[in-house]
Amino acid sequence: MLAEPLNAKENMERGVALQAIANSAKEVAEKGGSDLDVQTFIQGSKRELARELGDRGKMGEAAKAANAYKQLANQ
């Protein structure tokens, strides 16, 4: 069975964290960081957010899709 999706509080926390990442990335860019620095910062921050507060519902859907693909590939 798939995991439950984020509740309203968790979804709000995730939204606040994503906005904080965006604000921090803007600061990096304004301080002279290259586009690569900014992109690397954003991707690393999102990866860490996914570890700390991942969307269990979407992870379950992704796992289900991966299993369906594996079953099709093995036929």
HEC sequence for the chain: CCCCCCCHHHHHHHHHHHHHHHHHHHHHHHCCCCHHHHHHHHHHHHHHHHHHCCCHHHHHHHHHHHHHHHHHHCC
Q: Could you tell me if residue 53 is inside a domain?
A: yes
Q: Could you tell me if residue 4 is inside a domain?
A: no
pLDDT at 55: 80
Q: What is the span of the domain harbouring residue 49?
A: 10-73
Tens of pLDDT, residues 10-34: 889 999 999 999 999 999 999 999 9
pLDDT at 28: 96
Q: What domain count does the chain have?
A: 1
- Name the pTM for this structure: 0.73
CB atoms within 10 A of CB 10: 14
pLDDT grade for 2, boundaries at 50, 70 and 90: low
Angle between helices 8-30 and 35-52 (to 10 degrees): 160
CB atoms within 10 A of CB 31: 8
pLDDT over 70 at 50, yes or no:
yes
